[in-house]
Chains A and B, each alone.
Chain A
């Protein structure tokens, strides 16, 4: 199972919107509505930001949203804030025997 493909980096100014893509296959992203997104600040454990493609856990700001079309999932951060500067990883369920595949990760920089 290959890692899902994400852009290495994206950037935006405070208040702007950025979108991170996550490209998989029909065996993972395209096959299940179980895409999740994680935020990771340096030296910290990942934090769940989006699950089931577009649902936000309690406490995650509404400026984070997720979507999916075919084999590509996306995370959008609207109204970018300085504390959003972090690494972001997508993850997809991929079936019983290799249940989870992560993306390559994207560094979000707030200019």
Chain B
């Protein structure tokens, strides 16, 4: 059974940092692109960042470029999101998600970890 389990969320002040983790199991983690998708409370979904299976191709949405860093450790079957210079608008539920078929559609999601940026 495929499982994605996020952790590391919490309350942080504006300008602060957090590191999110996503632990994967039940599939060949090293073969698949991984993504972070966030959802603002009561609002919609927003793709945040993706990392290729080897970690060599990395992309970010414009609003987090220069502040967030995505990474992965295939030996530990884990993905990370280092979030620096956090802003109130980064407050959201952060999901890790992947697609295991040939099509870029997210067939597996974690349960999410909540990040709250507030004084």
List the interface of chain A (C-beta within 8 A of B): 1, 3, 34, 36, 38, 45-48, 51-52, 55, 57, 89, 91, 93, 96-105
Q: How many residues of B contact A (CB 8 A)?
A: 22
Whether the pair A101, B47 counts as a contact (CB closer than 8 A) is: yes
List the interface of chain B (C-beta within 8 A of A): 35, 37, 43-47, 50, 59, 61-62, 95, 101, 103-107, 109-112
Binding site of B, secondary structure by majority: helix, strand, loop or mixed?
Answer: loop
A-B contact count, CB below 8 Å?
67
Whether the pair A105, B107 counts as a contact (CB closer than 8 A) is: no
What chain A residues lie within 8 Å of B46 (beta carbons)? 3, 102
Whether the pair A36, B109 counts as a contact (CB closer than 8 A) is: no
What chain A residues lie within 8 Å of B35 (beta carbons)? 100
Q: A45-B112, A52-B103, A93-B104 are in contact. Are A102 and B45 (CB under 8 A)?
A: yes
Whether the pair B105, A102 counts as a contact (CB closer than 8 A) is: no
